[in-house]
Chains A and B, each alone.
Chain A
Amino acid sequence: MMSIIWPILVIVVTVFGVLGVAAVSTMLERRLLGVFQDRPGPNRVGPFGLFQVIADAMKMLFKQDWIPPFADKPVFLIAPIIGFLAVLLCFGVVPITPIWSVAGNLNVGLLFIFGMLGLGVYSVVLAGWSSNNKYALLGGMRAAAQMISYEVFMGLSVMGVVMAAGSFSIRDIVDAQTNCWFIIPQFLGAVIFFLAGVAETHRLPFDFPEGENEIGAGFHTEYSGMKFGMFYLAEYAGVALSSALVTTLYLGGWHGPLLPPFLWFAIKVFLLICFYILLRAALPRPRYDQLMSFGWKVLLPLSLLNILVTGAVVLLRAGV
């Protein structure tokens, strides 16, 4: 009996956990930005403005669910769902603690994540296309080029970790870090992975698909209500996912002294989310072509170099 209930429990808790984290991090972001920018941030709804999340959710739920008459209706509808689902599915293979993960031992877990991220691109691209709006189209085109490119660097940068751990299974990778977190031998890979993560979640300073100073709201210009809410949640779930991945791949996952595994995982993820927010507060946005050439001319050679060096070290250790 337990063997059936436990997986279902894990799935339900993970899904709601991710939703909760995404919702709370919207709040966290606004308060933290307030701190960084010498202003209070939302502080009126409930104690310390904590109920702002609920107020926002209510507003989005009860807003008119409007579809522009010139949009391509079916595609317009499924675009936000794709993005949201892709991020949620990724969490399925992230091992949060030794006993808590939906499919953490999937032997191609890391590839699964890349597959899902690849599908996540459709969300933004299709939203841009189906809105039938020029700003949205520009956002969609930027998204397609940016996200596919940075997926490449992300994939290449993580190969160092895969080689060092000898597995695509994320649980094996975490276990391989019992003694030494991969951020130390794989520092270059970690930096590239993190940068690519920022680009994949299209957060400032790499928020080109939205780029409100340039193209209005980009791919979700025409979205409102809960459909916009899905994009919004997917963005923050993506931030949480990216932080969770950096944690599991480079920061030793749940490993850490004294505290229980879950707390270690949560602390690391929380700090990374805060770092994401700090980035948003601190940096201006480069130009779109600068981002692309930075990726292809700097990140790509660096990540290849990382693979080369890691491979050499692994072979040397194996004594070939």
Chain B
Amino acid sequence: MSEVFDNSRAAGAGTGSMGAAVAAFPPHMLMMEEATRDGVPTFWVSRGQIRAVLQAVKAGGALRMLLDLTCVDERQRIHRDGLPASDFTVIYHIQSFDGPIDEVRFKVPLAADDANIASITDIWPNSNWLEREAWDLFGVVFEGHPHLSRILTPPTWVGHPLRKDHYARATERPPYTLSEDQVFDEQEALRFDPESWGMKRHSDNSDFMFLNLGPNHPSVHGVFRVVLQLEGEFIVDAVPDIGFHHRGAEKMAERQTWHSYIPYTDRIDYVGGVMNNFPYVMGVEKLAGITVPPRAQLIRIMLAEFFRISSHLVFYGTMVQDLGQLSPVFYIFTDRERVFEIIEKICGFRMHPAFFRIGGVAMDLPEGWDGEVRAFLDYLPKRLDEYNELVMKNPIFKARTKGVGVYNTEEAIDWGVTGPGLRATGLEWDYRRKAPYSGYDQIDFDIPTAVNGDCYDRAAVHIEEIRQSLRIIRYCLDNMPGGPYKAEHPLAVPPPKPRTMHDIETLIHHFVGVSWGPVIPQGEVRSCIEATKGLNQYYLVSDGGSMSYRTRIRTPSFIHLQQLPMLSRGTMIADLIAIIGSIDFVMADVDR
């Protein structure tokens, strides 16, 4: 199995990288180095040392981001030879945005009866929600956290859902009942108390007004609630409240086969479609050691870019709609309909095709696909020019968005902002270019950037990315290779059918793959892509079973939403709406 090591990444521990720098730390700071399947330098650190290590890593270079912070319940893990004893392992994933991709991972072992660790909210502000999430789902206490409370589950929830001893299905627990006392308790838990949200009721010369915006407000893009502390129409403070859309996607991954989880990923970022399949299947393929044939890779890229266009069109239309311009959203959704028509003709589905398979895609491109795609490539740029006149050059639109919701590159890195929101600050960093996956290295496209990092720039970057996606699609159209659309590999699911009736080996693989699902070799891997809204990373742990041991989904929306209070302080309600529109988040992507 070792031959499937991703060598380009394993070489990351060479000179100049963060991994090499960490390896050179004094020995008392590190417990050991672990070799992982994805080649990301991984170090075990005791909880007494983790703050010092992370501080040293952050101070070691510019633009280092806490990409992810999560936890694994290791109590039922079978294969963990040679690793430090741990019940709960807290994982920190740091990535540098200073040049080509450079990342490092730290693991901290914790015992179940003493699961607490120091908070790092003062080192990376975006660890705030990540730590709350880890506490909520695993019960790991982060000492020194300013507001350690439930974030995805309701405040009345009992237990920590991602622990292995927490039930996953309704049938594993007594039937649900709701007594009058429970109703009362739930209602009481909803009572708004500004102090518990860290807000004051009065200032020196006035009383504040608290406005509950959402969870069903026309402009919050789904079920998102933000409590505003207002002085007149000016926002003193804003506290987002999320979790209304939480479906336990990570828990579900632990009870679905590797293959049957694919449709769930579609619905994480529900305007991203197959873009969500992408990191997941790439991760599984890396674990299984499957090489995807070139045709499948380019089909994947093409579909992913179609979904990027579709998602950005939704962003464009809804943001403009939020600013009160009623018409563009109708035109833009008409264009999106054209995208869906093509996707439907290729995949048979419109929004959530679940088209990617472990080892390739579900089926080959239909006859005549190229004509459809070519017509669309000629159609959209003209429409975009029209919207440019209608929206981007509109003085009212400019007045509403320029200079509103500004952050610079350093702030973006501190808050974990990736994707168009990061590029709008002027940093030319695109995962497709800095760590090309699935064949993006062969495609020529530009990384659009802007300078001011305000709402207008974020919109402008999104729009330019649509044009770049069109370029990528044109490349796929002109250079689509022949050959199979799925890898000839025993673990590719569903397995190739033609030879099953001819040799017993293939028949067995087919039988196992279809009935139980494939058994993916033990190991762990992170798989990251430049998704529609930023970096979407799946961290998969296989314990050598037909189901995932732990699936961590790092979604851009969840991280991005966290900086809303910082952006909205001192602005007006109307600005908050523009900021919310420009952040480009989807609540399903936030809550998972």
Contacts and interface: CB of A to CB of B under 8 A. Distances in A.
Interface stretch (A243-251, A277-285, A304-312): A277-285
Contact of A212 (B212, B218, B330): B218
A143 to B, nearest CB: 13
Interface stretch (B47-55, B87-95, B443-451, B569-577): B569-577
12 contacts: A33-B327, A138-B573, A207-B324, A214-B573, A284-B391, A284-B396, A284-B400, A285-B396, A286-B399, A287-B399, A287-B575, A289-B233
Given A38-B334, A214-B219, A282 B321 contact: no
Interface residues of B, number: 29
A205 interface: yes
Given A213-B219, A287-B572, A37 B233 contact: no
B330 A287 contact: no
A30 B325 CA distance: 16
Interface string B199-220: 0000000000101100001110
Interface of B: 209, 211-212, 217-219, 233, 320-327, 330-331, 334, 391, 394, 396-397, 399-400, 572-575, 577
Contacts of A39: 330
Given A138-B233, A205-B396, A288 B327 contact: no
Interface string A127-148: 0000000110010001000000
A285 B395 CA distance: 11
A36 interface: yes
A290 B399 contact: yes
Interface size for chain A: under 10, 10 to 19, 20 to 34, or 35 or more residues? 20 to 34
Interface in A261-320: 280-290
Nearest to A215: B573
Contacts of B212: 134
Nearest to A137: B209
Given A214-B219, A214-B577, A283-B394, A37 B330 contact: yes
Give the 4 A-B residue pairs with the shortest CB-CB distance, closest first. Answer: A285-B324, A284-B325, A37-B330, A284-B323
A283 B217 contact: no
Nearest to A284: B325
A35 to B, nearest CB: 11
A37 B326 CA distance: 8
B463 to A, nearest CB: 16
B324 A37 contact: no
Contacts of B320: 284
B324 A205 contact: yes
A207 to B, nearest CB: 8
Given A284-B320, A284-B394, A289 B327 contact: no
Nearest to B212: A134
A204 interface: yes
Contacts of A286: 396, 399-400
Contacts of A284: 320, 323-325, 391, 394, 396-397, 400
Contacts of A283: 324-325, 394, 396
A31 to B, nearest CB: 14
A216 B326 contact: no
A134 B326 contact: no
Contacts of A134: 209, 211-212
Contacts of A216: 217-218
A281 B320 CA distance: 12
Nearest to A281: B327
A80 to B, nearest CB: 23
B17 to A, nearest CB: 46
A42 B397 CA distance: 29
Interface string A21-40: 00000000000010011110
Contacts of B322: 213
B327 A36 contact: yes
Nearest to A206: B324
A256 B320 CA distance: 41
A282 B327 CA distance: 7
Given A39-B330, A288-B572, 4 more contacts: A33-B326, A280-B326, A284-B391, A285-B324
Nearest to A212: B218
B396 A37 contact: no
Q: Which of A38, A280, A284 has the most CB of B within 10 A?
A: A284
A65 to B, nearest CB: 24
A37 B391 CA distance: 14
A217 to B, nearest CB: 9
Contacts of A287: 399-400, 572, 574-575
A211 B330 CA distance: 19
Given A138-B233, A284-B397, A285-B396, A37 B327 contact: yes
B5 to A, nearest CB: 51
Contacts of B325: 282-285
Contacts of B575: 287
B394 A38 contact: no
Contacts of B211: 134-135, 138
A145 to B, nearest CB: 10
A31 B396 CA distance: 26
Nearest to A135: B211
Interface string A199-229: 0000011010001111110000000000000
A56 to B, nearest CB: 19
A37 B331 contact: yes
B46 to A, nearest CB: 50
Nearest to A204: B324
Contacts of B397: 284
A213 B322 CA distance: 6
B233 A288 contact: yes
A252 B493 CA distance: 77
Contacts of A288: 233, 572, 574
A264 B324 CA distance: 34
B315 to A, nearest CB: 15
Nearest to B323: A284
Contacts of B394: 283-284
A283 B212 CA distance: 28
Contacts of A212: 218
Q: Which of A36, A135, A205, A215 has the most CB of B within 10 A?
A: A215
A281 B331 contact: no
Q: Which of A214, A215, A288 has the most CB of B within 10 A?
A: A214
Contacts of A215: 573
Nearest to A280: B326
A30 B218 CA distance: 20
B218 A213 contact: yes
Contacts of B326: 33, 37, 204, 280-281
Contacts of B331: 37-38
Q: Which of B397, B574, B575, B577 has the most CB of A within 10 A?
A: B574
Contacts of A213: 218-219, 321-324, 577
A39 B329 CA distance: 12
A135 B216 CA distance: 13
Interface string A41-82: 000000000000000000000000000000000000000000
A211 B218 CA distance: 10
Contact of A214 (B321, B330, B574): B574
Contacts of B391: 284
B568 to A, nearest CB: 13
A135 B217 CA distance: 11
A270 B233 CA distance: 37
Given A287-B400, A290-B399, A38 B330 contact: yes
Contacts of B209: 134
A38 to B, nearest CB: 6
Contacts of A36: 327
B116 to A, nearest CB: 40
A212 B573 CA distance: 12
A218 to B, nearest CB: 11
A286 B217 CA distance: 20
